[in-house]
Amino acid sequence: MTGVQSVDFRSWIWRRNRINVTPYLSPGGRIRMHLRQLSGILASTVLIWGCSDSSGPSSGSETLVIRSGNNQSALAGTTLSNPIVVALQDGAGNPISGQTATFTVTAGGGSLSSSTGQTNPDGTITAPTWRLGKSDVPQKVQVSVGDKTAEVSASVQTLYKIDIRFFGRTLTSAEQALFTSAAARLRAMIVGKLPVVSVAGADVSSCIGQTTPPLTGTVDGLVVYASLDSIDGRSKTLAQSGPCFIRQNELGEPDYRTVIGVMKFDTADVAPLIAQNALESTIVHEMLHVVGFGTFWEPKSLVVTSDTVNARYIGPGGIAGCQAVGGTVTCASSVPIENCVGQSPCGAGQIFSHWRESTFRTELMTAYLNSGSDPLSAMSIRSLEDLNYSVNAAAADAYTIFIGARSAGTSAASAPLASGEWERPLPFRPKMLPTIRASAGSAK
């Protein structure tokens, strides 16, 4: 295997590297029911219900245990396959019946079908259905019975790896968390393993614009160099991102799945995004460009009638995703992409590399970030199939195709979070790095 090899990316690469982010923008207490039926010789039948202790577990020997279903994994946004069963049990390990358990998601952003469980004949309690959150972060549910609690854990399935390497100004832990959270979101939507690549000798310095020792070793996922630093002052470039190195298949051809990329944000321009909690979404948007969204559409022949107002995306994954979010007519055979008609500002950083704003509006991967909600749809996730990624569309946000004509100033669209010239091409032409053939007996 040799080292870095140049690949002839035409002028499109420079245009696609211009990434725009512009306006984008009871306890139930323990109840022991003793049914005593007393039959008197003289009188009628009398029923006496004796109820004792309704204030919760009273014995120190009682414990709340997770009988089964702990530590499962599932794809983000999907439900666990095996039931979670818990029990409040006495010192001898026998379930104490008549309990009510409450369930609460405490980490991971998932959801439960109910806040209480279902009591089984044997006294155990089956948890409500748990749908995991949409990021590859720890997933936890707390179970409570009286004053006893237990924690159930689960994890998100993915084989995609993202390594964030910060450079430039030292970021605060809160700032770093925005990037790592964005990466966790991408790992939830891209779930397949990627070919291992030798990065020996890869010149990252010229791509990220800062002297860095040449790399050694291998990469089996994506490495993203990230900075939040000064670029060119306020109201100019807000973000600059793109791939530095892509994979090369065994035939010596570009594979287009990114090995190393870079994303830079200008501290002078991010304040409005931070104020509106939109910076993390913007980082997700940029990271998807690093992965290849918009960036590799043309060389992968995913766009027809490019360079015209009729430019359309024809990747089958993106089309199916569009239809799944309601675009059965709009996307009967292709997906509209940004053509700059009726959009301003709109330039090289927006055109032909995003979904069309007038059609998809709030969707995260249009060229304009709307303040408020910017859902990441199944359409965007499924379009990554067209770049040969294995994806999980269940990690998508709820989104339905925008229906109706755009009417500036009368809709949910709000003032731009930034203005002026936002994009700048990376001063680097993406290069290919050779993949390493898996040896016999090694992991897939």
Q: Which residues of the chain form contacts with Zn ion (CB under 5 A)?
A: 19
Closest CB 308 distance from Zn ion, rounded Å: 20
Q: In this structure, is the dihedral angle defined by the CA atoms of residues 398, 164, 75 and 196, taken in order, positive or negative?
A: positive
In 167-253, the DSSP E strands lie at 197-198, 218-219, 222-229, 239-248
Closer of 22 and 72 to Zn ion (Cβ): 22
Closer of 61 and 344 to Zn ion (Cβ): 344
Closest CB 354 distance from Zn ion, rounded Å: 5
Closer of 130 and 293 to Zn ion (Cβ): 293
Burial (0-12, 13-18, 19+ Cβ within 10 Å), 11: exposed
Closest CB 68 distance from Zn ion, rounded Å: 45
Closest CB 20 distance from Zn ion, rounded Å: 5
Q: Which residues contact 327 (CB under 8 A, 6 or more apart)?
A: 335, 379, 401
What is the CA angle 421-422-423, rounded to 5? 110
Closest CB 171 distance from Zn ion, rounded Å: 22
Question: Both tokens of residue 248?
Answer: 């090369």
Which candidate, 121, 108, 115, 120, places its Cα nearest to that of 143? Answer: 115
Closest CB 297 distance from Zn ion, rounded Å: 12
Closer of 344 and 410 to Zn ion (Cβ): 344
Contact 221, 287 (CB under 8 A): no
Closest CB 419 distance from Zn ion, rounded Å: 16
Amino acid of residue 439: S
**What 8-state DSSP symbol labels residue 8?**
-
Q: Which residues contact 64 (CB under 8 A, 6 or more apart)?
A: 86, 87, 88, 89, 143, 145, 148, 149, 150
Closer of 19 and 171 to Zn ion (Cβ): 19
Closest CB 156 distance from Zn ion, rounded Å: 25
Question: Both tokens of residue 278?
Answer: 């939109």
Strand pairing category for 162-166 and 222-229: parallel
Contact 165, 226 (CB under 8 A): yes
Residue 36: in which H helix or E strand, if any? strand 32-38
Closer of 72 and 306 to Zn ion (Cβ): 306
Closer of 139 and 281 to Zn ion (Cβ): 281
Closest CB 367 distance from Zn ion, rounded Å: 6
Closer of 76 and 365 to Zn ion (Cβ): 365
Amino acid of residue 44: S
Closer of 100 and 371 to Zn ion (Cβ): 371
Q: Which residue has the tokens 């991967």?
A: 365
CA distance 70 to 185: 23
